[in-house]
Amino acid sequence: QFYRPILEELTVTRPEHFDFVRPEDLDGIGMGRPAQRRLTEALKKHRLGLKSKNWVYKILGGLAPEQKETTSVPDNLLSLPEPEGGLKCLIPDGAVCRGELLGSGCFGVVHRGLWTLPSGQSVPVAVKSLRVGPEGPVGTELGDFLREVSVMMNLEHPHVLRLHGLVLAQPLQMVMELAPLGSLHARLTAPAP
């Protein structure tokens, strides 16, 4: 009943936007005080349950108390959307064999790999591994890695490499489709034939 007025008149599109909505604004769209109280209670429940229901914490099982001191997960990571289809695939560590190094970035390295499916079939893949320091993954690198996982899980496009799954070992690894012709950067910067 109030969905359209909240969306169109108050331009509230995310739960965080309600932080800037006053009771007078809700009165202006015809929402009574009891409905406003119910909305406030629902928002409180949403905020309290956000951290525990976040898919990152479901996968990693939260952080151990000793890890919280050395590894901090950025607050904006807690607001990542849960993938619509859930996890694509949790891949056992032994099912992926890493080969030659393809490249490295700011938070990890990429290897050519071979993923052995339960059926015995082998699939060529790219394995992106999180770079780990002496005390474990650094908070910003872990946050960037998990943010990329979140984005890749929700992408389905013929021109974007597909995320096959995630290996929950140390280090964390993303198993992705292997670009058959190599990196786009190398192709674009290569001299013309």
φ, ψ dihedrals at 109, nearest 5°: -125, 155
Q: What are residue 125's DSSP bridge partners?
A: 113, 177
Is 53 assigned a ligand-binding role in the annotation?
A: no
Torsion sign, CA atoms 178, 86, 7, 1: positive
Question: Which string of DSSP letters, residue by residue, matches the chain?
Answer: --HHIIIIIS---SGGGGGG--HHHHHHTT--HHHHHHHHHHHHHHHHHHHHH-HHHHHHT---HHHHHH----GGGGGPPPPTT--S-B--GGGEEEEEEEEE-SSEEEEEEEEE-TTS-EEEEEEEEE--BTTBS-HHHHHHHHHHHHHHHH---TTSPPEEEEE-SSSPEEEEEPPTT--HHHHHHSPP-
Contact between 5 and 29 under an 8 Å Cβ cutoff? The reply is yes
Q: Which residues are annotated as a binding site?
A: 128
Q: Which residues are annotated as a binding site for ATP?
A: 128
